Structure 1
């Protein structure tokens, strides 16, 4: 069985999505799983979380993107071939491989927009373009014996994200309890269903029998509530008001289910709540570590050590809940 591919997506930015993918990558590695962290956001913030600037210069030199996600799709984009035969993934740790992001990836947007309707005409190139992200990830997953793949996407409803989401088996929605997240869910849910249905229609038109394509399930498994950075400065009642509305809106807009009972309006779809570790987050970013790996040598002394322990339990709970919903066996 191939590793499940999980996309973390919200068309509302600023919800802590990249930080969540980064920390869960390390948590699953700590649990003994081999992880593929895929930075498919053209802003490449996940890559910057894993690698320092000196290392990034090795991958983003002028005119040479051969080891980034853009390098893996460039022959296809230029019309001189298909995706790279051996797409590159940086080995961050013996259990974490990273598909390196690239600002140049945004050049792929127009091509994906153009090829989407051509799939309905049974054009082989259209299917190769639309399935490029999935085929790149699958080659790395198979080659490196990956157990779980996590994808970081940009906050928009464009053609790049459509192509990424049809590559995903599961969908997780990170959000914060505010008006913008609620509106984001109302945009995201119908769009994801439209993309899923559109890909199912196109799959029937595949003209090449041996061209393996993604199933496009993108099954929603829940949302992760990210504590707002400014919660302490906002009225508690306002925070609670938005938080209480999210379960219903998620169920109705993302799952397409009407909430008739109190049970459905509760947190059955919530994977967990991630606290905002205000003083520890900058420390972790400086050390290029997840919060739960911080040591006294990194500055995590005194009361900070309690926060480090809480962060480990916090991310562990979310990781295990996700694994359970995706039927991923976690080593004892």
Structure 2
């Protein structure tokens, strides 16, 4: 698709699954991110995912090693881990709430020990690439108006308003600030993709 359409990058958004489609899609990529939610269940899932990706890569290597006598080509199947993205956490006064900080640290330790240390990884992947907090009502409105969250404007707030009128004052300022914060985090991800 890159050759056919002249794309610079193709992003594949996969659901949290360990099935064949996820396996094939991940191994066919050059690189990947792991989005995480800072909680105990995600910490356990990241640990399991690290083991699973390692097995997928090993199986792929064994499988494609049998191809040459038949003249079959394949893709390398060694995606590079670019980093974790912390998402969907609560913040207060501009700072991540303490319980989420705890789980962010726990997950980052698992990422460093199980993914960065054992799998192909890019530089800087031992830290969070971006931290995207819970943006509440922004995402549903973005879906309604067909825009990215960072492109939302005052006119779009009427879809979040109980009265159907566009917001103003402090509510509007908070809305636009949160949309801009989201945009800044997406820029961080785009920079890593561009350099990766």
TM-score range, shorter chain: 0.7 to 0.9
Q: 1:177 to 1:279 in 2, by over 3 A?
A: same
Give the number of the structure with larger relative contact order, counting CA–CA contacts within 8 Å between residues 6 or more apart: 1
The residue that corresponds to 2:46 in the other structure is 185
* Secondary structure of residue in 1 paired with 2:32: strand
Q: List runs of 5+ in structure 1 lacking aligned partners.
A: 1-139, 258-265, 327-332
Q: List runs of 5+ in structure 2 lacking aligned partners.
A: 119-123, 158-165
TM-fit CA distance, 1:226: 0.6
The residue that corresponds to 2:189 in the other structure is 318
Distance 2:185 2:77 in 1: 30
Structure 1 contact 220–255 (Cα < 8 Å) conserved: yes
TM-fit CA distance, 1:188: 0.3
Q: 1:145 to 1:180 in 2, by over 3 A?
A: same
TM-score when scaled to structure 1?
0.48
The residue that corresponds to 2:139 in the other structure is 281
* Pairing 1:201–2:72 present: no
TM-score when scaled to structure 2?
0.79
Distance 1:268 1:190 in 2: 17
* Secondary structure of residue in 1 paired with 2:11: strand
Q: 1:254 to 1:312 in 2, by over 3 A?
A: same
Distance 2:106 2:125 in 1: 11
Distance 1:293 1:159 in 2: 35
Structure 2 contact 36–84 (Cα < 8 Å) conserved: yes
Distance 2:74 2:46 in 1: 28
Structure 1 contact 175–225 (Cα < 8 Å) conserved: yes
TM-fit CA distance, 1:231: 6.0
Structure 1 contact 173–223 (Cα < 8 Å) conserved: yes
Equivalent residues, number: 174
Over the aligned positions, Cα root-mean-square deviation in angstroms equals: 2.3
- Residues 238-257 of structure 1: CA distance to partner in whole angstroms, max 9, x if unpaired? 22211121221111122345
